[in-house]
Amino acid sequence: MTDAAYPPSALELDRRAYRKRQSTKSVFVALVSTLAFAAVVWLTVLNTPGWAGVQQSFFDPATFWSSLPRVWEGFLLNLQVLALSVVTVAIFATVIALLRTLRGAVFFPVRVLAAAYTDVFRGIPLIIVLYLIGFGVPALLNQRVPLILLGTAAITITYSAYVSEVIRAGIEAVHPSQRIAARAMGLGYAQTLRLVVLPQALRKMTPPLMNDFVAMQKDVGLVSIIGLVDAVRAAQIETSLSYNFTPYIVAALLFVLLAIPTIRLTDWYTARLQRREQMGSVV
Amino acid sequence: MSALLQAIDLRKSFGERSVLRGVSVEIAAHEVVAVIGASGSGKSTLLRCLNLLETIDDGQILLGGEDISDPRVDANRVRARFGAVFQSYNLFPHLSVLDNVTLSLRYVHKVPRAAADERGMRLLERVGLADKAREHPDRLSGGQQQRAAIVRAIATDPEILLLDEITSALDPELVGEVLELVRELADEGTTILMATHEMAFARDVAHRVVFLDAGRILEHGPPAEVFANPREERTKEFLTRFRA
């Protein structure tokens, strides 16, 4: 920082003046481009002949308020599915990831199965998994199963495949010398994993995990297809009653409001990690 | 003299590359042995075979008369009897310096936290790192980190301390403080087997020097002998490069 004993040199003063001019210029450019963007939106969207109709059928305040309670009620179901899934995905994905990192010939079949699992379920669209679980499991058991459990199961199956890969990458990103140091002091395989590898891996995988969490927050809206009256299905019902699409906007708004804190938190955390790792550098 | 650790005709290859080609070495209690040799001569591999971080292809390792190269022995229990310090410190970055030092005490030797902390603090104080006990390793200089790593290795009172080129990653001005600590440990009678490139230090501190060349022990003896009158041409060549 500035040293009080030394007044800045003429050279430094010149540099500071230049930087100040540059930042003033940047603010000005940002302002102009924002105005230009607003003008383009106004000209292309708000001035189109169909805008009045769209406004009425998608952004109708009366429908907004009348549909909100029902959509909100459905949204609470989404939150339940989400809360359940977070727990089951965390457990299941960790198990899959650990199975994939096991070494030794004995574990070959387990490794292959775990790898096949992640390949298959990262490949199948979530909506198909939902259909298969939602209609297949009750048929298999020949009895009714609470829809919320079926929805949670489908999301767990798909998301565990993604999340286990993030966890595995995190585990493998911990330098092997850390394992060696741990084993050298007599810690066993499981102790090394728990005390040395996983705590370090967790830091590395937090940003991608939070990303998957954001994706999961909105994908819980897909459980509507197995018949669960969640926010999306509630909005659909409201729309069919009012002949107005505003309820979808209500549902969308609720999902966005749910996602924003996580997204901001992810950004903040990633930025903090970056600051720590590149301390003292401008690039 | 019965050796504390005895390695007999160790052989180890990585794929096609033969790294140890019949190495026999022994070390008595309270003895300091320095293993010297060019990079790639097998120094690190030898050390890692001894505390079972690598599995040997042939030969035998006896620790206090027990055959620890027998696959039926519990390798974790054997490793816990050694202390190991590595070239790149390998401190655990997510743990405080004190927790690094006490981890093995707490989880391998089942010492209660309070007692482990007390012992850890006493050792850290001794090496002048007490004020860093609660810091994470990345706040320490290289020399401080390596001293903390040495404290971590001796915290469990190991039977043998293995030092694998512990000053090779340090800035020259930080080497002294680390070697000073090793010298103190040696003076106290700690049994030390060290792979090193610090020839002057080896000559001063080691009771015996072993020269490893291409996976074989070419020459060994008291440092005065090996350094002053090397018998083998390869040893002479190697030492000249280091004196230059």
Nearest of B140, B143, B188 to residue B32 by alpha carbon: B188
Can you give the pTM of this predicted structure?
A: 0.79
Residue B156 sits at the chain A interface (C-beta within 8 Å)? yes
pLDDT at A4 over 80: no
Distance from CA of B189 to the nearest CA of A (A): 21
pLDDT at A182 over 50: yes
Distance from CA of B77 to the nearest CA of A (A): 6
User: What average pLDDT does the segment B214-235 reach?
Assistant: 92
Tokens 């690094």, residue?
A: B100
ipTM over 0.95: no
Residue B161, beta-bridge partner list: B83, B192
Q: Which of B80, B88, B93 sits opposite A200 (nearest CB)?
A: B93
Nearest of B205, B120, B129 to residue B167 by alpha carbon: B205
Task: Verify whether the Cβ–Cβ distance A186 to B94 is below 8 Å.
Answer: no
User: What average pLDDT does the segment A3-29 reach?
Assistant: 90
Distance from CA of A271 to the nearest CA of B (A): 19
Distance, in Å, from the CA atom of B71 to the CA atom of B78, rounded to the nearest integer, reads 11
Q: What's the CATH architecture for A62-269?
A: Orthogonal Bundle (1.10)
Distance, in Å, from the CA atom of A1 to the CA atom of B233, rounded to the nearest integer, reads 59
List pLDDT tens digits, range B18-49: 999 999 999 999 999 999 999 889 999 999 99
Task: Verify whether the Cβ–Cβ distance A185 to B88 is below 8 Å.
Answer: no
| Chain B, nearest residue to A188 by Cα | B76
List pLDDT tens digits, range A105-147: 889 999 999 999 999 999 999 999 999 999 999 999 998 999 9
Whole-number pLDDT of residue A55: 87
Task: Verify whether the Cβ–Cβ distance A186 to B108 is below 8 Å.
Answer: yes
Residue A186 sits at the chain B interface (C-beta within 8 Å)? yes
Task: Verify whether the Cβ–Cβ distance A181 to B77 is below 8 Å.
Answer: no
Q: Which residues of A6-34 are buried (b: 16+ CB within 10 A; e: fewer)?
A: eeeeeeeeeeeeeeeeeeeeeeeeeeeee
pLDDT at B106 over 90: yes
Whole-number pLDDT of residue B209: 95
Task: Verify whether the Cβ–Cβ distance B90 to A180 is below 8 Å.
Answer: yes
**Mean predicted lDDT score pLDDT of chain A:** 90
**Mean predicted lDDT score pLDDT of chain B:** 94
User: What average pLDDT does the segment A236-251 reach?
Assistant: 93
Residue B157 sits at the chain A interface (C-beta within 8 Å)? no
Whole-number pLDDT of residue A24: 93
User: What average pLDDT does the segment B99-128 reach?
Assistant: 96
Distance from CA of B51 to the nearest CA of A (A): 7
3-class secondary structure, A72? helix
Residue A188 sits at the chain B interface (C-beta within 8 Å)? yes
Distance from CA of B48 to the nearest CA of A (A): 9
Q: DSSP character for B191?
A: -
3-class secondary structure, B58? strand
Q: Using a CB-CB distance cutoff of 8 angstroms, which residues of chain B are in contact with residue A204?
A: none
Q: Which of B77, B86, B107 sits opposite A181 (nearest CB)?
A: B86
pLDDT at A51 over 60: yes
Distance, in Å, from the CA atom of B161 to the CA atom of B180, rounded to the nearest integer, reads 16
Whole-number pLDDT of residue A188: 94
| Chain A, nearest residue to B79 by Cα | A186
User: What average pLDDT does the segment B72-90 reach?
Assistant: 95
Distance from CA of B170 to the nearest CA of A (A): 17
Whole-number pLDDT of residue A48: 83
pLDDT at B221 over 90: yes
Q: Give the domain ranges of chain A.
A: 62-269
Task: Verify whether the Cβ–Cβ distance B156 to A185 is below 8 Å.
Answer: yes
Please report, rounded to a whole number, the percentage of residues in chain A having pLDDT higher than 70.
96
What structural domains does chain B harbor? 5-92+159-243 (3.40.50.300)
Whole-number pLDDT of residue B84: 97
Comparing A160-164, A190-194, A261-265, B216-220, the range with the smallest average pLDDT is A261-265
Distance, in Å, from the CA atom of A176 to the CA atom of B102, rounded to the nearest integer, reads 21
Residue B73 sits at the chain A interface (C-beta within 8 Å)? no
Q: Using a CB-CB distance cutoff of 8 angstroms, which residues of chain B are in contact with residue A199?
A: 94
Q: How confident is the model at residue B164 (pLDDT cuts 50, 70, 90)?
A: very high
pLDDT at A2 over 70: no
User: What average pLDDT does the segment A204-224 reach?
Assistant: 90
pLDDT at B148 over 80: yes
pLDDT at A229 over 80: yes
Comparing A160-174, A224-238, A265-279, the range with the smallest average pLDDT is A265-279
Nearest of B45, B47, B51, B82 to residue B69 by alpha carbon: B51
Q: Which of residues 32-61 of A touch B (CB under 8 A)?
A: none
pLDDT at A279 over 80: no
Q: How confident is the model at residue A280 (pLDDT cuts 50, 70, 90)?
A: very low
Residue A185 sits at the chain B interface (C-beta within 8 Å)? yes
Whole-number pLDDT of residue A230: 93
